[in-house]
Every structure is written in structure tokens, then in C-alpha cells.
Amino acid sequence: MTSFTTPIPLQPEPDWPAVAAIPIVDDEQPLHPLSLSRVLRVYPAYFRMGVRHALPECYSRMAVFERLLQVARSLPHGVHLVVLDAWRPFAVQQYLYDSLYDAIREYYPKLDERQLEHLTRQFVSPPSSSRNTPSPHLTGGAVDVTLCDEDGRWLDMGTAFDEASPLSATAHFEQLADYRERDLQVRDNRRTLYNAMAAQGFSNLSSEWWHYDYGDQLWAWHTGASAALYGPVQLQTLDTVWRKQLEQQLAAEQH
């Protein structure tokens, strides 16, 4: 049985060159719509915010979907898992990165390009659809999640989703010298989410309490896996389905 009170361990910032060097052996699982489940609460945050090209559905690889179901079923009575984002179109990744980069540059005009990129990357990965170094959310292995109560009220996680703040670090509320009542509640809510996700094999990005990975290069780096399971993936269109079917039919006829 999962312990939801275990303290969240301090995790180092990812070694991004090492992450990028991890090979990918894609098992070609398709993307699966998460809102088909009655167990998960799905709230596509970027679509609701009006972000251009954001989708009104959240998709993940099938193994990620199955693990999210187990997380949701393991939570304490009355607590529900909410999926805010999962697979992203490239255009959304580009928009998020550029928007945060520009905002940081505006408020910290003395930072050089390397410093700006470092700060931005703590919250948004550089957009990449490369077969060898894809952005985590372009693989269908990364998910952004939070918790709500039985009636749909957000549990207090200390910051808003996507808040670019030191307070967003997953273990931030483990480090306080003095705790107010609210601090303790936030700490416990984050522990519940972290321990439930970790128990199902997800890794966490230490700068974001909401971001978890399974199967992508970031997950492989955190867990010591020899290879990532997921590279970049696209939603299937009718055109690609037809072409794949025709290729398979042609191959069968030739044999």
C-alpha cells in the first residue's frame, strides 16, 4: 500500500546533455485520449486558457494512461487525480517556451542568453521534435497533473499550475524552517501526489510539482534506464491511417 506521508526527496536538476544522450527505442504505442476514463478528471488547461493550437483533449501513450488509472485508484477517499496536460503539438511547445523566455528577459534584462535559457528550461523544455532529443511533452510520456476533492475543488498545492517560481519546486515545502497551517497542508498535498505517482513508476521534474514522466528520456535519466521508450509522436490523421493500411495490404500481397 502506498504511503502518502513519505517526505519528498530532494532531487537534482537534470543533467540535460546526459538526458539528451540517452538512446530511444520507441515501442510505437499510439496516443490514447484520457477523457474516455471515468476514473480520471481531465482539464486541458492550455485549451481552456485559449492557447493557440492547444487541444480540447489530453492524450498520452497507453502505458502512461494505464499508470494514471492506477494512481487515481490509489488516492485517498475523496481525492481525485486531475490531468492538466499531456502530449502537446509542437506549436504549443514553441509558444510556451517563447512566452516564458520573453517574460524572463523583460523582467531580468541583465541576464545573458545562457542564463535566460537556463531559467526558461526549468519550467519549459526547448521545443524539439527531433527523433533523438524530443521535448518530453511531444513524446506522450510527460504529464502535468494535480489533485481535486470530490466536488472538483483544487487542492492547495502552494502555487498555480505553471507558475514560474522557486515555490513550484516539488520539495520546496519540505525545506521550510517554520510551518504555518497552510504550509503543512500544501506539503501534505504535494506528498500525496508525489508518492502516488512515484508508486506507479513516474519520475518528477524537481522544479515543477505538477510535471511527471514515464518512458521518455527524462524518465530514463531519473530511473537509470538504459534507453527511453518513447520518441516524438503525432496524433494519427485519417490520411496516415489510410496510408498505413495500404502499405500493410501491399506488403501482404507481395508475400
Q: Which residues are annotated as a binding site?
A: 137, 144, 211
Which residues fall within 8 angstroms of residue 57, CB to CB, at 6 or more apart?
A: 33, 34, 35, 42, 44
Spot the catalytic one: 13, 181, 208, 253.
Answer: 208
Gyration radius of the chain over CA positions: 19
DSSP 3-state assignment of 99?
Answer: helix
| Closest by Cα among 94, 82, 68, 74 to 201 | 68
Which residues fall within 8 angstroms of residue 41, CB to CB, at 6 or more apart?
A: 80, 81, 82, 83, 148, 152
Write 74-79 long-range contacts (CB < 8 A, 24+): 74/2, 74/196, 74/199, 74/200, 75/147, 75/192, 75/196, 76/4, 76/192, 78/149, 78/150, 79/147, 79/148, 79/149, 79/155, 79/192
Is 208 a catalytic site residue?
A: yes
| Closest by Cα among 11, 202, 211 to 125 | 211
Binding-site sequence positions for Zn(2+): 137, 144, 211
Residue showing cell 481531465: 42
Catalytic residues: 208
